[in-house]
């Protein structure tokens, strides 16, 4: 691509690197003075059909928005532009002159404790801003960190979330399938491997990077406790207990036991107040530390780590059948390695070998009964096996351990539907939406179920007006005299501004229930908006008959009388409104206005007075206008 012009302005100079998700190039911006250098990243979806491309485009735009917000931080490259060209997606970012942190954090060499504290403070300080935006980096590792030449600060690059454009989850029949986790093995915690990263998944990655810097060992070669899967590193290097405690909390196997976000970890680290070397952070490497075991796993054959790394690589490449064979070797040598069992189960699940996956997840839960991810995956497997009662029990265990997991509340709702427990399913969907109001999958599931159950009032309350009307029509087809369905139908039509149809629905309500003063008022307001003052007069006349102390109804009736030139009667209506509410300024202004108008026409011939009575016709759309003076109120309650 050298010399190629992208976006009409970015001239490619040379290729910087790349992988399966995309390629990175150094470029110059020909539209700016001096043609400054920038970095252009090309991202390409794996499939280019119309549906996948549109999905990728939405995700790309969302990620670009996130990067734009994050770029205001001094240690995050600024997003300069993003555009689409020939089914490729391009991000243009600020060029940072510096060296990758791989030059500092290398196998076999150790950084001093102070250097590591400096590095942690630098990284966590930047990550605080990232987490404030509710963005997860997902791929923090030495090769995604640059030591900037100008000030020696560490710059965080290559946000892993952007890689979703190339590896976006597929959604089929309302189910999201994530087969390849985004991130780098060794720095990626278990929940991220399972496709459910959290903010403190980034904390885990930084903690593993700190252990790599302290011990000189790559993360995958750090020994783990076979019972708990916790990292066993304290015997490999000597550091202050306070720092060790902080790092331990950063890399806990269970994300709930880690710091919730970078702010908490950064605050804890700042309590150490370590001494600083005058040379500044990261300028020199510490002395080579004490020798470490050549085989931290304790496997006498020496093949355990090799097989585990090979299995992980194959899993990452979606070669699940081969990964299963290598994981099998691992668990044969180390049957207590629960992480290997978990990965083996996920590989089997991707091969649709659900019974085998279930056995492996049960093996993990036998030793770690509070592992919410194992319960979640167990529920998915049982769902695929159509063992819905078991899947429901598994999801309930997830929610016991993680009550704010909105995805699981949605999954639980879908299982309850399959078990025909529809009311409880709605409750689950409601909880999912309560936790995440923009959760479209749960919103859609809840709406679909409410329509099927003809839950019109809830549909209306949730602003699903079109669906509410459809549900009302179904209810009316079953019972044409269902006044509540007619009322809600009118309200939904009114919300959609379909006023003539709404008026017809309200008119049907008052035909069925002539004493419904609320519907009479709604009908009067719509008729007034439709510029039909005579039938509106009928409607408001019925309101004041049914609610003689309703000052608003008297005012509205007065307005309609005024519009039909019944000025004397309008004055009486306004006077009644003011009697009920003396500080009713709108009615007072109207009263004065009509008095003035009446004075100008005082000499005009007056129509003969007729005996006052209320109209008996309850069809306001066709009724004769009401008498022009205030009606006598029957003895009814307010």
Tens of pLDDT, residue by residue over 160-210, are: 544 444 444 434 344 443 334 567 888 999 888 888 888 999 999 999 999
Between 562 and 606, name the one with better pLDDT.
562
Bridge partners, residue 177, by sequence: 170
Domain range summary for the chain, segments of one domain joined by +: 1-95, 97-162+177-291, 304-459, 514-638
Task: Report the CATH superfamily, name and number, of domain 1-95.
Answer: Phosphorylase Kinase; domain 1 (3.30.200.20)
Distance CA 182, CA 139 (A): 7
Q: What is the pLDDT of residues 571-584, one digit of tens each?
A: 999 999 999 999 99
Would you say 364 and 342 are in contact if contact means Cβ atoms under 8 Å apart?
yes
Would you say 411 and 392 are in contact if contact means Cβ atoms under 8 Å apart?
no
Q: What is the pLDDT of residues 486-508, one digit of tens each?
A: 998 999 898 999 999 999 999 99
Percent of the chain having pLDDT more than 70? 83
pLDDT for residue 323 is more than 80: yes
Q: Domain 97-162+177-291, what fold?
A: Transferase(Phosphotransferase); domain 1 (1.10.510)
Q: Where are the beta strands (DSSP E) in 86-234?
A: 88-94, 98-100, 145-148, 154-156, 170-172, 175-177
Q: Tell me the backbone φ, ψ of residue 288, rounded to 5 degrees.
A: -60, 130
Distance CA 313, CA 437 (A): 37
Give 355: exposed, middle or buried? Use CB within 10 Å, 0-12, 13-18, 19+. Answer: exposed
3-class DSSP state of 301: coil
Q: Does domain 514-638 have CATH number 1.25.40.10?
A: yes
Q: Binning pLDDT at 50, 70 and 90, where does residue 146 land?
A: very high
Distance CA 397, CA 388 (A): 14
When mean pLDDT is compared across 43-52, 164-173, 398-407, the lowest value belongs to 164-173
Distance CA 564, CA 534 (A): 7
Joined tokens for residue 322: 């081969």
Q: What pLDDT score does 391 carry?
A: 95
* Sign of the alpha-carbon dihedral angle for 322, 326, 327, 328: positive
Q: What pLDDT score does 316 carry?
A: 78
Between 296 and 212, name the one with better pLDDT.
212
Distance CA 205, CA 196 (A): 15
Joined tokens for residue 457: 């009032």
Q: What pLDDT score does 46 carry?
A: 64
Q: What pLDDT score does 605 carry?
A: 55
How far are the Cα atoms of 110, 214, 258, 398 from residue 218, in angstroms, in the given order?
11, 10, 21, 32
Mean pLDDT of the chain: 82
Q: What is the pLDDT of residues 260-309, one digit of tens each?
A: 989 899 988 988 754 433 333 332 223 333 333 333 344 444 467 788 88
Would you say 311 and 328 are in contact if contact means Cβ atoms under 8 Å apart?
no
pTM: 0.56
Q: Which residues are catalytic?
A: 139
When mean pLDDT is compared across 133-137, 211-215, 285-289, 588-592, the lowest value belongs to 285-289
Q: Which of 35, 22, 24, 27 is nearest to 4 (CA)?
A: 27
The answer to whether 97-162+177-291 and 304-459 have equal CATH topology is no
Q: What is the pLDDT of residues 220-233, one digit of tens each?
A: 889 988 888 899 99
Q: What pLDDT score does 20 carry?
A: 53
3-class DSSP state of 293: coil
Q: Domain 304-459, what fold?
A: 1.25.40
Rg of the chain, C-alpha, whole Å: 35
Number of residues that this document lists for the chain = 638
Q: Which of 577, 584, 583 is nearest to 561 (CA)?
A: 577
């Amino acid at each position: 691509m050298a010399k190629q012009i992208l976006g009409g302005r970015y001239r490619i100079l040379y290729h910087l690197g790349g992988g399966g998700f995309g390629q990175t190039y150094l470029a110059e911006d020909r539209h700016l003075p001096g043609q400054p250098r920038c970095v252009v990243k090309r991202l390409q979806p794996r499939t280019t059909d119309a549906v996948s491309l549109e999905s990728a485009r939405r995700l790309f735009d969302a990620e670009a928005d996130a990067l734009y917000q994050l770029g205001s931080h001094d240690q995050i490259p600024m997003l300069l532009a993003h555009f689409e060209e020939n089914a490729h997606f391009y991000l243009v970012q600020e060029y940072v002159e510096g060296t990758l942190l791989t030059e500092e954090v290398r196998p076999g060499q150790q950084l001093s404790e102070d250097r590591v504290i400096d590095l942690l403070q630098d990284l966590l300080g930047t990550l605080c801003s990232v987490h404030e935006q509710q963005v997860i980096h997902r791929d923090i590792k030495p090769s995604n960190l640059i030591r900037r030449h100008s000030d020696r600060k560490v710059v965080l690059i290559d946000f892993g979330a952007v890689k979703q454009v190339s590896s976006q989850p597929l959604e089929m029949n309302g189910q999201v399938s994530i087969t390849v986790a985004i991130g780098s093995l060794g720095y990626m915690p278990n929940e991220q491997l399972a496709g459910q990263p959290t903010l403190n998944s980034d904390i885990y990655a930084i903690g593993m990077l700190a252990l790599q810097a302290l011990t000189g060992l790559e993360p995958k070669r750090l020994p783990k406790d076979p019972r708990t899967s916790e990292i066993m590193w304290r015997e490999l290097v000597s550091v202050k207990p306070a720092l060790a405690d902080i790092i331990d909390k950063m890399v806990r196997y269970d994300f709930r036991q880690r710091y919730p976000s970078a702010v908490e970890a950064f605050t804890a680290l700042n309590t150490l107040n370590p001494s600083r070397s005058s040379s500044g952070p990261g300028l020199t490497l510490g002395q080579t530390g004490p020798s470490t075991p050549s085989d931290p796993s304790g496997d006498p054959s020496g093949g355990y780590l090799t097989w585990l790394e090979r299995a992980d690589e194959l899993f990452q490449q979606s070669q699940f059948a081969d990964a299963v064979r290598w994981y099998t070797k691992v668990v044969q040598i180390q049957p207590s390695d629960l992480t290997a069992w978990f990965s083996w189960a996920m590989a089997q699940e991707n091969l649709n070998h659900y019974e085998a996956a279930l056995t492996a997840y049960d093996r993990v839960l036998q030793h770690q009964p509070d592992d919410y991810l194992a319960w979640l995956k167990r529920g998915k497997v049982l769902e695929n096996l159509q063992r819905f009662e078991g899947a429901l029990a598994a999801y309930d265990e997830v929610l016991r351990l993680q009550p704010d997991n909105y995805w699981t509340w949605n999954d639980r709702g879908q299982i309850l539907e399959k078990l025909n427990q529809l009311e409880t399913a709605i409750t689950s969907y409601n909880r999912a939406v309560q936790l995440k109001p923009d959760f479209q999958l749960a919103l859609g599931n809840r709406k679909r179920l409410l329509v099927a159950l003809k839950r019109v009032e809830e549909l209306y309350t949730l602003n699903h007006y079109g669906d509410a009307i459809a549900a009302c029509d179904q209810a009316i087809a079953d019972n044409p005299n269902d006044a509540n369905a007619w009322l809600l139908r009118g309200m939904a039509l009114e919300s959609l501004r379909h006023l003539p149809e709404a008026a017809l629905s309200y008119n049907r309500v008052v035909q069925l229930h002539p004493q419904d003063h609320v519907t009479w008022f709604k009908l009067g307001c719509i008729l007034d908006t439709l510029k039909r003052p005579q039938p509106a007069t009928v409607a408001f006349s019925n309101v004041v008959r049914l609610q003689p102390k309703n000052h608003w109804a008297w005012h509205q009736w007065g307005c309609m009388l005024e519009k039909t030139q019944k000025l004397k009667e309008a004055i009486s209506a306004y006077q009644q409104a003011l009697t009920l509410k003396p500080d009713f300024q709108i009615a007072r202004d109207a009263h004065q206005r009509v008095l003035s108008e009446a004075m100008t026409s005082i000499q005009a011939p007056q129509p003969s007075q007729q005996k006052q009575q209320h109209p008996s016709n309850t069809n306001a759309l066709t009724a004769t206008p009401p008498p022009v003076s205030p009606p006598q109120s029957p003895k009814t309650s307010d």
